[in-house]
Amino acid sequence: MIGRKGKNISEANGFCFEKEGERKFLIFRISKEEYGLDLSYIREVVKVKEVRALPHSPEWMEGVTDLRGHLIALMSLRRRLNLKESEDPDRKMIVCQIQRRTFGLLVEELGEILSLPKEKILPVPEILFKPSGRELVSEIAQIGGRMIPLLNPERILTSIEDRSI
């Protein structure tokens, strides 16, 4: 379902159809921690092949990779979120597209796709915001006993541009 090569995840199996008042998220794990990303930003999910590091790039920028003839900047979410080191040879790349910009986010394990009613999605308390306003997690999903941080890819993109390669 998620890992089909070249499949646009937002169009696959009717994922683009949302019930009113609900949002859909791809849940994934990094260093055994769960995170979510709104499906509307996700173009596809593919297995990571060769990655070429670039000099003078931030520590959390893994480098670039070729995706069907297009170079994609690849960010290590594990490093960007300051999570524990984990060497997973079977990493996946979530290809995101925002404002005609495409970039990849490295994750270690794919989870499920969740459709959440808006009342289960809560904003992060303002006291946790950085003064720069560039926080990467803007909401928390509450599902049963789980609290899943929801990443804000627009702010991730801004952090990439602020530290351009």
Report pLDDT for 136.
Answer: 85
Q: Domains in the chain: how many in total?
A: 1
| Domain assignment of residue 21, yes or no | yes
Alpha-carbon dihedral 42, 43, 45, 50, rounded to 10 degrees: -120
For residue 2, being part of any structural domain is answered with no
* CA-to-CA dists, residue 37 to 3, 128, 148, angstroms: 16, 19, 10
Q: Which residue has the higher pLDDT, 14 or 142?
A: 142
CATH number of the domain encompassing residue 131:
2.40.50.180
Residue 80 lies in a domain: yes
Domain hosting residue 152, numbered range: 12-162
3: in domain: no
- Lowest model confidence (mean pLDDT) among 25-39, 125-139, 144-158: 125-139
The pLDDT confidence band at residue 117, using thresholds 50, 70 and 90, is very high
Beta-strand runs (E) in 2-136 = 22-30, 33-38, 42-47, 61-67, 70-76, 92-98, 101-107, 109-117, 121-123
Tell me the pLDDT tens digit for each residue of 5-58. Answer: 444 444 444 444 557 789 999 999 998 899 999 999 999 999 988 999 999 888
**Residue 83 falls within a domain, yes or no?**
yes
Domain assignment of residue 6, yes or no:
no
Q: What is the distance between the alpha carbons of residues 103 and 125, in angstroms, rounded to a whole number?
A: 28
- Predicted local distance difference test score (pLDDT) of residue 34: 95
